[in-house]
Amino acid sequence: MATISQEERGTWNSKLGFVLAASGSAIGLGNIVFFASNAYQYGGGAFYLPYFVALFALGIPVMIVEFGLGASTRRALPQALSAVAGKRGEFVGWWSLSCALLITMYYIAILGWALGMMVGALGGLFEPGATAPFAPFLEPSAGVSSTVYFFDLIATYWPMLAVLVIWALNGMILIKGTATIEKAVRIFVPLMWLFMIGLIVLALTRDGGLDGVLYLFTPDFAGVSDPAVWKGAFAQMFFSLSLGLGTMTAYASYLPKRSDVVNNSLLVSFMNCGFEFLAGVAIFGLLFAFALNPVGGTLSLSFFVIPQGIAEFGALAKVLGFAFFFLMVVAGLTSSISLIEGPAAALRDKLGISRAAALAIVFVPGALGSLAYTLPTIVDPGLAANGTLGLSLLDMMDHWVFNYSLLTVGFLEVIFVGWVLGASKLRRAVNLHTRIPLGPWFDVVLKYVAPGLLGFVLIWSLIQEFGGGLYAAGNPLGGFDWLPVAVPLFWLIFTLGGAAYLTYGRPTPPPPSPFDTMSDDVSAL
């Protein structure tokens, strides 16, 4: 099997390029759409303590692990883990990347809807009189209604076109690897900060905007004893920092030798959480300024509650609405490329194939999957749950993959690196090239704290999961009542089967472990 040289794999041109790409990956729909709705759902200020614990005890350490694995082995996740823990490591790596592919499919479906709303902002989104083919919305709305507009949009085939446009944009950015990624993030990442700052100014200059900020940031310790809040914060942190799906390891595998992994991890984590903080301020500011009630699922907040607030700006609404969805599309695009790059890099490293071939293996099922999530068939005309088939599918898949895959992979990564490799070996490898050396406390975090926290929330959620029956089993689903069983089964069979095939069906020797020789290097220092 031809191994691909580092020259062919590509290397970031500069540290800035890498930091822009990694922070572009981290900052995305997670920071704008999911953070605000999670923070609201888990009670605003009550979310904060678990969130900070998640950042320092899990987020930053796991990012150091994922960057460290990529930078030392210069391989994507399965090969990097196979250097650390052999075949079982490789298996977990492929499982993680199969889950990444499932997430990419619906992540891009959401981006397709955002693109649809962005175009709609210039057309009918902010005009009164919308109707949608759902019982509550058959009558024309008296004023502007972004809710009606959104449901009208997802009940058409337009989002399928939008989804294909987003996949095509991803293809253009990914085709030459680091070279084209770097070009794109140099433009998109600053742009997205600029738009976010604009949004904040807007939200905070409205009467009542500050109340939202107070709601979000006044600590409330009542929720701290509820494990659901902790699980919510951990899953949010992993998703937001792009951890657990092989993304950060793939990006770090293109780093030049001697890169400072600790410094990069801190930089990317703080940039991401800073952006998330700003997004929270902007969104809660708008909510309170317009006394909006963010009921409904995860997507409702960004797709129709906030647009409803934007509608109040009258003549400016079109421009602002366009800008808001443009921000979502740009932030999401720099994340979706990283979600695709993880599996593509791994397939290249494993099979020795060209970049275009690896991308094709990801793009064909990926785009088909995204199309499934935009199926406009109406299964729930009364809108008691999700309305269309696509949105119902998305909700179910998100429930399983978002809540379980990332945290399970994170748990196994810290076990492999902490116990199988030995935490001190990774720490020494990382410390060779850093200005902020990690102390022995890091070993304690990797061996005990992180696995303990992750293990606890995972076991707790599994117990809760089945207490109330299968997720979404009670939802109106038209003739598709078997989906709540089929979706989790498909998730498990697709990801475990894919991982088994790639690991055991096509065995390859593990790359040489860069960690074994490390102790000599250190004593030489």
Can you give the binding site for ligand TRP, defined by CB under 6 A? 25-26, 28-31, 239-240, 242-245, 247, 335, 338-339, 406
Q: Closest separation between CB of residue 232 and ligand TRP, Å?
A: 15
CB nearer ligand TRP, residue 126 or residue 234: 234
Q: Closest separation between CB of residue 141 and ligand TRP, Å?
A: 31
CB nearer ligand TRP, residue 275 or residue 442: 275
The answer to whether the CB of 133 falls within 8 A of the CB of 379 is no
Q: Closest separation between CB of residue 163 and ligand TRP, Å?
A: 17
CB nearer ligand TRP, residue 38 or residue 503: 38
CB nearer ligand TRP, residue 25 or residue 392: 25
CB nearer ligand TRP, residue 146 or residue 338: 338
Q: Which residue has the tokens 């742009």?
A: 191
CB nearer ligand TRP, residue 240 or residue 388: 240
Q: Closest separation between CB of residue 77 and ligand TRP, Å?
A: 11
CB nearer ligand TRP, residue 50 or residue 376: 50
Q: Closest separation between CB of residue 239 and ligand TRP, Å?
A: 5
**Structure tokens that stand for 34 in this block:** 């999911």
Q: Closest separation between CB of residue 279 and ligand TRP, Å?
A: 10
CB nearer ligand TRP, residue 28 or residue 387: 28
The answer to whether the CB of 261 falls within 8 A of the CB of 435 is no
Cα Rg for the chain, rounded, in angstroms? 22
CB nearer ligand TRP, residue 148 or residue 237: 237
CA atoms within 13 Å, Cβ hemisphere of 286:
28
Question: Which residues are paired to 388 by β-bridges?
Answer: 378
In the DSSP assignment, the letter for residue 125 is T
The answer to whether the CB of 37 falls within 8 A of the CB of 301 is yes
Q: Closest separation between CB of residue 205 and ligand TRP, Å?
A: 27
The answer to whether the CB of 264 falls within 8 A of the CB of 25 is no
Crossing angle of helices 178-204/317-351, nearest 10°?
150
> For residues 111 and 104, what is the distance between their CA atoms, to the nearest angstrom?
10
Instruction: Give residues with Cβ within 8 angstroms of 282, minimum separation 6.
Output: 196, 199, 200, 202, 203
> For residues 363 and 454, what is the distance between their CA atoms, to the nearest angstrom?
32
CB nearer ligand TRP, residue 240 or residue 374: 240
Amino acid at site 27: I
* Helix, strand or coil, per DSSP, at residue 515: coil
The answer to whether the CB of 317 falls within 8 A of the CB of 227 is no
> For residues 35 and 41, what is the distance between their CA atoms, to the nearest angstrom?
10
The answer to whether the Cα torsion of 195, 399, 25, 184 is positive or negative is negative
Provide the residue count of the chain.
525
Q: Closest separation between CB of residue 34 and ligand TRP, Å?
A: 7
> For residues 89 and 4, what is the distance between their CA atoms, to the nearest angstrom?
21
Q: Closest separation between CB of residue 414 and ligand TRP, Å?
A: 16
Q: Closest separation between CB of residue 405 and ligand TRP, Å?
A: 9
* Helix, strand or coil, per DSSP, at residue 480: coil
> For residues 402 and 400, what is the distance between their CA atoms, to the nearest angstrom?
6
CA distances (Å), origin 76, targets 245, 350, 502 = 11, 9, 14
Q: Closest separation between CB of residue 438 and ligand TRP, Å?
A: 23
CA distances (Å), origin 215, targets 121, 231, 279, 306 = 29, 21, 14, 17
CB nearer ligand TRP, residue 108 or residue 310: 108
